[in-house]
């Protein structure tokens, strides 16, 4: 049949609101992949955004089509629309419009919501409004849980339970096998290759288990051999090259080594003892518990009368602690007043640091008219860099009515050997990358599934059927919007998660992300569940 050019406006609306929906997915859901890594200081915020943009796009384009097919054809009985395909076209446009507008509101006010269930609700509501409840595939009993809306409802229960269980298992093994043992660094060095290999095997599972257009032609023992083989190969490479480098940096305190020395592998073990660090040298292993007190330290500080720390940003990015007597600070808080830097009471609404702390990439607006050269350059920086010009750690560490007393909450969390935590920062970066890739594969469907249906009907004038492939350009379109969303506005949701939920460190964050990515991969590839991404990470 001929294209339905009389409905060009529906296609245009679908393109616009699908992009907005995907942008909100990036801005809202990206925190679930990277909030733990940024909060634990394994990566900086701008590094996380670079990696997230690339990996979300790669996951969306590489393996995003399969889940898109689930949302597009297995929730509605599209045969109900055979007599009037344009009605389905209009209905999908309405669903994506409602989803994108709702997500925009939630993202603006800082609510981490399920983008999957948002579009699912829109599609279900559209189906009920157009053809009635019989137009919705509530369940396909001959397919078990892999058909109909029931699979989404089950995901509400299965996803948090699975991810929480996986995360607990990984951290329990890490805690009692490494962190609380004597000499945890040496024991941690033994586990690093194993964890790298296991994570690599998960990536292979994602790619070969009906992963988009990637076809290996293997099945059964062949697939199992490939999964195990890749994991073993990666573990061997890590053991040969990364472990010697970590040994020199952590055990021998070789401050002269850099990341580009990793390929030297075993040769690093033959290096002479490192010289004494020159005075004023910066670098080395960062303190992953910086700014967080143990219960004993916090009690001693509060009992000693020199409490009420207030952090102020300095031009160098360091923090300045302003102390005030406990009784005075408590009485000021009761009156809605906080202590200022000069010791004078200042109301919270009038504090100079009420603005979100930034890294200084954008800077202050220069003087002059709006069309002057300096102002235009500043506006360009504001558009492209404002999203990554955010000091997430300071924003997360701000107490609020919902978060409560963060110092008290964090003081109950045990502090482990900082050098052992450094080992797991590398693992956390890898698991965060895999989680981001899997997230792009799973969540791009939320935006492009309705758009793919709209485009198919507009192009052919008929229902495309359940086996019609999702065009690559639509996957690229959705993946680009997700990447743009996380780059420009991902910080807004990320600062509401992370350390405001619990104290993060690399070992904890790695366990959370490995549990979450395992759940996401199983949901995406084994059960075709369109998973709500916030649940796995928060449950872990």
Give the CA dihedral 325, 327, 330, 333, nearest 10 degrees.
Answer: -70
What are the angstrom distances between the C-alpha of 379 and each of 98, 359, 362, 374, 386? 31, 17, 9, 9, 10
How many residues belong to the chain?
540
Exposure string over 308-346, b if 16+ CB within 10 A, otherwise e: bbbbbbeeeeebeebebebeebeebeeeebbbbeeeebb
Domains in the chain: boundaries: 5-176+416-539, 181-270, 295-309+320-411
* Confidence at 403, pLDDT banded by 50, 70, 90: low
Distance from chain centroid for Cα 184: 29
pLDDT band at 418 (very low <50, low <70, confident <90, very high): very high
Q: How far apart are CA 136 and CA 498, in angstroms?
A: 38
Q: How many CA atoms lie within 13 Å of 106's alpha carbon, on the beta-carbon side?
A: 20
Task: Work out the average pLDDT over 27-38.
Answer: 80
Let me know: does 43 contact 421? Beta carbons within 8 Å: no
- Contact by Cβ (8 Å): 188, 424: yes
Compute the CA torsion angle 251, 253, 259, 261 (nearest 10 deg): -80
Do 159 and 527 meet the contact criterion of CB atoms below 8 Å apart?
no
The DSSP H or E segment spanning 248 is none
Beta partners for residue 313, in sequence order: 319
3-state secondary structure of 347: strand
- Contact present, 517 and 131 (Cβ < 8 Å): no
Identify the sign of the CA torsion 53, 385, 429, 32.
Answer: negative
CA distance 162 to 432: 18
pLDDT at 360 over 80: no
Burial class (CB in 10 A: 0-12, 13-18, 19+), 121: middle
Which tokens is 100 given?
């994108």
Q: Is 282 exposed, middle or buried (0-12, 13-18, 19+ CB in 10 A)?
A: exposed
Which ranges of 258-317 would DSSP assign to H, the alpha helix?
295-303
Q: What is the pLDDT of residues 34-81, one digit of tens each?
A: 888 888 888 888 888 889 889 888 888 877 665 566 566 667 777 888
- pLDDT classification of 537: cutoffs 50, 70, 90: low
Task: Give dist(CA 35, CA 499) in Å, integer.
Answer: 9
**What are the strands, taking DSSP E only, across 261-302?**
none
| CB contact set of 399 (below 8 Å; sequence gap of 6+) | 405, 406, 407
Whether residue 389 contacts residue 364, with contact meaning beta carbons closer than 8 Å, is answered with: no
pLDDT for res 328:
40
Residues paired with 312 in a beta bridge: 320
Longest dimension (CA), the chain: 81
What is this structure's pTM? Answer: 0.76
* Confidence at 177, pLDDT banded by 50, 70, 90: very high
Helices (H), 45-84: 45-63, 65-73
Q: How far are the Cα atoms of 130, 138, 392 from residue 150, in angstroms, in the given order?
A: 21, 6, 38
Q: Confirm if 245 and 262 have CB atoms less than 8 A apart.
A: yes
* pLDDT tens per residue, range 299-349: 888 887 544 444 444 444 444 443 333 334 333 333 333 444 443 334 333
Structure tokens at 204: 């292979």
Tens-place pLDDT, residues 68-119: 665 666 677 778 888 888 998 999 999 999 999 999 999 888 888 877 788 8
Judge contact between 454 and 352, C-beta under 8 A: no
Per cent of the chain over pLDDT 70 is 74
Number of CB atoms found within 10 A of residue 183's CB: 11
- Highest average pLDDT, of 90-99, 462-471, 481-490, 513-522, comes from 90-99
Other CB atoms within 10 A of residue 478 CB: 34
pLDDT in the model for residue 80: 83
């Amino acid at each position: 049949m001929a294209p339905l050019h009389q409905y060009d406006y529906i296609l245009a609306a679908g393109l616009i609101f699908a992009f907005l929906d995907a942008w909100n997915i990036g801005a809202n859901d990206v925190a679930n992949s990277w909030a733990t890594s940024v909060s634990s200081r394994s990566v900086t915020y701008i590094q996380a955004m670079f990696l997230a943009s690339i990996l979300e796009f790669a996951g969306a384009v590489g393996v995003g089509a399969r889940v898109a097919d689930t949302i597009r054809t297995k929730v509605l009985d599209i045969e109900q629309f055979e007599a009037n395909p344009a009605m389905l076209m209009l209905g999908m446009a309405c669903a994506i419009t409602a989803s994108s507008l709702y997500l925009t509101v939630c993202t603006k006010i800082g609510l981490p919501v399920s983008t999957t269930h948002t579009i699912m609700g829109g599609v279900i509501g559209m189906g009920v409004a157009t053809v009635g409840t019989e137009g919705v595939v509530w369940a396909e009993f001959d397919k078990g849980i892999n058909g109909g809306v029931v699979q989404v409802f089950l995901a509400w229960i299965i996803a948090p339970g699975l991810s929480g269980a996986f995360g607990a298992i990984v951290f329990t093994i890490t805690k009692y096998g490494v962190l609380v043992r004597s000499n945890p660094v040496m024991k941690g060095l033994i586990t690093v290759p194993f964890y790298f290999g296991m994570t690599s095997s998960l990536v292979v599972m994602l790619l070969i288990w009906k992963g988009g257009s990637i076809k290996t032609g293997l099945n059964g023992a062949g697939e199992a051999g490939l999964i195990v083989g890749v994991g073993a190969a990666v573990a061997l490479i890590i053991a040969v090259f990364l472990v010697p480098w970590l040994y020199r940096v952590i055990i021998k305190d070789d401050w002269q080594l850099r990341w580009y020395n990793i390929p030297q592998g075993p040769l690093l073990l033959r290096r002479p003892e490192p010289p004494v660090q020159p005075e004023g040298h910066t670098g080395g292993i960062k303190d992953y518990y910086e700014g967080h007190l143990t219960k004993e330290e916090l009690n001693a500080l509060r009992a000693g009368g020199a409490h009420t720390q207030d952090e102020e940003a300095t031009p160098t990015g360091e923090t300045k602690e302003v102390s005030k007597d406990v009784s005075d600070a408590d009485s000021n808080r009761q009156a809605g007043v906080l202590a200022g830097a000069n010791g004078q009471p200042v109301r919270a609404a009038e504090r100079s640091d009420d603005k979100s702390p930034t890294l200084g990439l954008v800077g202050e607006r220069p003087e002059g008219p709006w069309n002057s050269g300096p102002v235009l350059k500043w506006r360009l920086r504001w558009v492209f860099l404002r999203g990554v010009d955010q000091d997430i750690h300071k924003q997360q560490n701000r107490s609020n009515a919902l978060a409560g007393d963060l110092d008290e909450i964090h003081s109950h969390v045990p502090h482990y050997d900082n050098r052992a935590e450094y080992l797991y920062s590398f693992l956390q970066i890898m698991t965060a990358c895999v989680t981001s890739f899997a997230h792009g594969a799973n969540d791009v469907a939320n935006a492009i599934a309705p758009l793919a249906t709209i485009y198919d009907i507009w192009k052919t004038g008929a229902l495309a059927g359940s086996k019609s492939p999702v065009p690559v350009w639509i996957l690229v379109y959705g993946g680009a919007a997700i990447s743009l969303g996380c780059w420009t506005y991902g910080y807004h949701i990320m600062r509401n998660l992370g350390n405001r939920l619990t104290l993060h460190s690399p070992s904890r964050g790695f366990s959370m992300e490995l549990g979450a990515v395992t759940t996401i991969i199983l949901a995406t590839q084994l059960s075709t569940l369109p998973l709500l991404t916030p649940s796995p990470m928060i449950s872990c």
